[in-house]
Amino acid sequence: MFNPHDFHRPQSSYSKADLLRSSEGGYFGPGNAQLPTPPMLMMDRITEISLDGGAYGKGHVVGELDITPEDWFFACHFAGDPVMPGCLGLDAMWQIIGFWLGWSGSAGRGRAVGVGEVKFRGHITPAVRRVRYEVDMRQVRRGRLVLGIADGRVLADDTCVYAARDMRVGLIASAT
């Protein structure tokens, strides 16, 4: 496997262009973590990323998504009652954990492997202007198995609408 830091110099924030480059693959080296391509890329920027920040002092990431009434998911979820599916907010946090694992130097392709608990306290509608994802790394295992365990929350215009505990993302070796 390739060392991600041989291909990428960690930054403290990332633009949409950076995230799109990550979705093309190879950003952290061949066979390593990458983000999905649009429309499944669920963030427009990462405004904060650290190795030692957050509630547990083990890493923290803040990502943002700009919302418009024309977003693809509003047209199909639900007719006459448009809301962003809750699973997309959860997936965005899994995306962030996988990105953080590559950013922090672990090799392998990211895969969501579970979540302990998710609570929905509200929803994201076309009236929302910005979604903010806040993820705090709780535990990181780096060995034969690389595993990131984190807690996070999704805010719609500064109001928490989802909270998740024990989100798990593993890095697996590339098949090629």
Catalytic residue among 5, 8, 60, 77: 77
DSSP lists the bridge partners of residue 150 as 137, 167
CB distance 107 to 29 below 8 Å = yes
Terminal CA-to-CA distance of the chain, rounded, Å? Answer: 10
CA gap 81, 61 in Å, rounded:
31
Quick check: 103 and 8 in contact, CB under 8 A? yes
Q: Active site includes 77? A: yes
Q: Is 117 strand, coil or helix?
A: strand
Q: Which residue has the tokens 């922090």?
A: 104
Task: Residue count of the chain, please give it.
Answer: 176
Distance CA 40, CA 146 (A): 24
Contacts of residue 22, defined as CB under 8 A and 6 or more positions apart, other chains included, come to: 14, 28, 33, 34, 35, 99
Which active-site residues does the annotation give? 77
